[in-house]
A = this chain, B = another copy of it.
Amino acid sequence: MMTLYYYPNTCALAPHVALEEAGADYRLALVAFERGEQKSEAYRRLHPLGRVPVLVTGAGVLTEVPAILAYIAGINPASAPSGAFELAKMYAFNAFLASTVHVTFAHALRAERWADDEAARESMRAKAPSEYVKLFFLMDEKMLVGPWVMGQQYTVSDPYLFVMSRWLRRLNLKIEEFPRVAAHYARMIQRPAVLRALELEGLTP
């Protein structure tokens, strides 16, 4: 049995949904951010940076959402394209979410990672929402093929975009500004696996 270390409504929700979609044999392990458990010595043995998610598999420990999603897609081949180029396009979208979209969001909530003084952190927090908006316009207009991220096939990119879309409201942004992203979100919360994952994390759609 696999174990997914998570905290609710973080990027760990993407592999969580993917595990539900895969019908995988897994259990959840909550990392108590409130008690700083992600920075504990025990947890850092799983993830040296003290972040979620971590997926512990029979073969070993996996970190990094794009890699965990690629691994789950291997368990559930229906959730990834079969052609080499299309598969790489899916990896590209996931890499873009990880290193650009998520990183932009993190400047609003985790600015301490990149500057030591409070004024600089405040400056990052101030800029992050407008940059997040730009990235959503880009995804809405040019990247989301529709009805799913990659087109007709639902893939592990879909729960990952779903999480980034959920974060819009955490920046007081409105998903309705991005009609195709909003339609994608509405489609996602029709899926039983998505609803199960949300419920297990104590979240509402």
Given known A95-B95, A95-B98, A119-B119, contact A88–B62 (CB-CB < 8 A): yes
Q: Mark A81-111, 1 if CB is under 8 A from B, else 0.
A: 0011101110110111011101100010000
Cross-chain contact A91 with B74 (CB below 8 angstroms): no
Chain A contact residues: helix, strand, loop or mixed: helix
Given known A115-B123, A123-B120, contact A67–B49 (CB-CB < 8 A): no
With A and B bound together, what is the CA distance between A115 and B115 in angstroms?
A: 11
Q: For the complex formed by this chain, how many copies does it contain in all?
A: 2
Cross-chain contact A91 with B114 (CB below 8 angstroms): no
The A114-171 residues at the B interface (CB cut-off 8 A) are 114-117, 119-120, 123-124, 126-128, 131, 138, 142
Smallest CB separation, A122 vs chain B (Å)? 8
Given known A49-B100, A124-B115, contact A85–B71 (CB-CB < 8 A): yes
- Is residue A181 contacting chain B, with contact meaning CB distance below 8 A? no
Cross-chain contact B64 with A91 (CB below 8 angstroms): yes
Smallest CB separation, A138 vs chain B (Å)? 6
- Is residue A48 contacting chain B, with contact meaning CB distance below 8 A? yes
Write the residues of chain A forming the contact surface with B, with a CB cutoff of 8 angstroms: 48-49, 57, 59-60, 62-68, 70-71, 74, 83-85, 87-89, 91-92, 94-96, 98-100, 102-103, 107, 113-117, 119-120, 123-124, 126-128, 131, 138, 142
What are 9 A-B contacts with C-beta separation under 8 Å? A60-B89, A64-B95, A66-B91, A74-B84, A99-B102, A114-B127, A115-B120, A115-B124, A117-B123
Give 10 closest A-B pairs by Cβ, nearest first: A120-B123, A67-B92, A59-B85, A64-B95, A99-B99, A67-B91, A71-B88, A120-B120, A115-B123, A64-B92
